């Protein structure tokens, strides 16, 4: 068996879906422009610096989900896919996913971005499994809170291992494994696979990848 794991933002996408979703809601007037735009940019800068407070970020990111009916959110997400997400997908990213998928590898999208935002994106790529931060629901409505461990930094490793265990698998089940990521925040999962791949890497990851002889590529 072979395992292929993919980060999403700035890896398979030419941009960040979390950031783009917030900007999309600001553009629709759902969120107030001045304050929310500044917060969105600050969270992005903190993520890039490796100083992101995940609890604070999730409170910001998940609050709009709790404020609107699911049908409205789903309709907005369809617009978001057409206007923001599909233009961020490069042919090379689709081709690399298809290479693993058509070879019969077990494929999963592993992202800190919440599953409401990323579920349709995983389906767009034809990736059958999604490991993402889960927004909690009660009676079909989002609560504005996260459920379980966020899929962020070492949380990605924990969530992947739980997913494998639920299928009767573990790291040793695979003759080969890959993880594609752009960010130094993903070092814990990159270090777990046999073939870590730095994709459009940030400066810190680029230096680590060069020093360790990891493959470095561009997909977008």
State the total domains in the chain. 1
Angle at 15 between CA 31 and CA 192, to 5 degrees: 115
Q: At 187, which CATH number?
A: 3.40.50.1000
**Mean pLDDT, rounded, for 125-147:** 95
Q: Which residues contact 159 (CB under 8 A, 6 or more apart)?
A: 110, 131, 148, 149, 151
DSSP secondary structure code for residue 173 in this structure = G
- Which residue segment(s) compose the domain that 203 sits in? 2-217
Identify whether the C-beta of residue 147 lies closer than 8 Å to the C-beta of residue 135.
yes
Indicate whether 205 pLDDT > 80: yes
DSSP class of residue 184? G
Q: Which residues contact 218 (CB under 8 A, 6 or more apart)?
A: 92, 199, 200
pLDDT band (50, 70, 90) for residue 54: confident
> Are the CB atoms for 93 and 53 separated by under 8 Å?
no
Is the pTM higher than 0.75? The answer reads yes
pLDDT, tens only, 78-92: 999 999 999 999 999
The DSSP element (H or E) to which 42 belongs, if any, is helix 33-49
pLDDT beyond 90 at 220: no
| The pLDDT value given to residue 180 | 98
Query: Which residues belong to the active site?
Result: 7, 9
């Amino acid at each position: 068996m072979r395992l292929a794991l993919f980060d999403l933002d700035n890896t398979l996408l030419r941009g960040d879906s979390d950031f783009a979703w917030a900007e999309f809601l600001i553009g629709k007037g759902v969120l107030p422009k001045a304050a929310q735009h500044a917060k969105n940019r600050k969270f992005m800068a903190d993520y890039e610096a490796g100083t992101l407070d995940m609890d604070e970020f999730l409170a910001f990111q998940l609050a709009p989900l709790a404020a609107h009916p699911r049908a409205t959110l789903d309709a907005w997400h369809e617009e978001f896919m057409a206007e923001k997400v599909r233009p961020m997908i490069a042919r090379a990213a689709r081709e690399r996913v298809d290479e693993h998928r058509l070879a019969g590898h077990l494929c999963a999208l592993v992202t800190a971005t919440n599953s409401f935002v990323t579920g349709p994106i995983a389906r767009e790529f034809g990736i059958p499994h999604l490991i993402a931060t889960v927004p909690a629901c009660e009676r079909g409505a989002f609560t504005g809170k996260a459920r379980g461990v966020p899929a962020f930094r070492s949380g990605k490793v924990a969530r992947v291992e739980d997913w494998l265990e639920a299928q009767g698998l573990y790291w040793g089940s695979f003759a080969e494994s890959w993880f594609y990521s752009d960010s130094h925040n993903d070092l814990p999962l990159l270090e777990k696979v046999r073939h870590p791949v730095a994709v459009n890497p940030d400066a810190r990851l680029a230096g680590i990848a060069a020093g360790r002889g990891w493959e470095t590529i561009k997909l977008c």
